[in-house]
A and B are shown apart, each in its own frame.
Chain A
Amino acid sequence: DAGVTQSPTHLIKTRGQQVTLRCSPKSGHDTVSWYQQALGQGPQFIFQYYEEEERQRGNFPDRFSGHQFPNYSSELNVNALLLGDSALYLCASSSREKWGQPQHFGDGTRLSIL
């Protein structure tokens, strides 16, 4: 039973570019959440998707957008990259019907902006 998988594991971009990160949730999970974790800090909630729609959003600008596909996988897109976007981007999956059950995290994508 595969857990949450994220790709790529590492990515280097330059300022102004655009990036797409991908996430496949754990089998049986239908909800995907994205978090940004800056170095030395706790993860910050970006947004959450289920039923292919954004359901909740944290305090992030519109440069951050996402998508969820019918197979529950998800993408995180960031436009006009800034140096401050350098971080570990974590995807977490859960089941909407089983609130209170723990979220499962992937190992993240380390994004470096030069």
Chain B
Amino acid sequence: TQLLEQSPQFLSIQEGENLTVYCNSSSVFSSLQWYRQEPGEGPVLLVTVVTGGEVKKLKRLTFQFGDARKDSSLHITAAQPGDTGLYLCAGARETSGSRLTFGEGTQLTVNP
């Protein structure tokens, strides 16, 4: 059972366009993390959000945690080819230690 649903699953856009990736769940998470993974490598952490309604910005990336801590979004402004990769959201619950529940990922391709 996939507790975190990501959408879209695939996204192919042109350089300079904006995009948003969504991560939704019916369950509450204590924190939510976003990772980026490139072929042949492990996931690399982009950001952790822990407070409902929290918004974090990392250069052209904006991350938001829903008020109820059940959903999150990642918005990329003016995408660049270097943004290409698999974007993964992962939820953690304080009662589950450091165990992460991952979404299925969004494969982003930014064409020059």
Contact = CB atoms under 8 A, between A and B. Distances in A.
Interface of A: 4, 31, 33, 35, 40-45, 48, 55-56, 58, 90, 92, 94, 96, 99-100, 102-108, 110
Interface residues of B, number: 30
B99 A33 contact: yes
List the 4 closest A-B pairs by CB distance, nearest first.
A105-B42, A42-B102, A94-B98, A102-B45
A35 B98 CA distance: 12
A89 to B, nearest CB: 10
A48 B97 contact: yes
Interface of B: 2, 4, 6, 30-31, 33, 35, 40-45, 48, 50, 88, 90, 92, 94, 96-105, 107
B105 A107 contact: no
Of A31, A94, A100, most B-chain CB atoms within 10 Å: A100
Contact of B50 (A33, A42, A100, A104): A100
Nearest to A106: B42
B27 to A, nearest CB: 15
Nearest to A47: B99
Contact of A33 (B6, B35, B98): B98
28 contacts: A4-B42, A31-B97, A33-B99, A33-B100, A40-B105, A42-B90, A42-B103, A42-B104, A42-B105, A43-B90, A45-B100, A48-B98, A55-B97, A90-B42, A90-B43, A99-B94, A99-B98, A100-B92, A103-B45, A104-B45, A105-B35, A105-B43, A106-B42, A107-B41, A107-B42, A108-B41, A108-B42, A110-B40
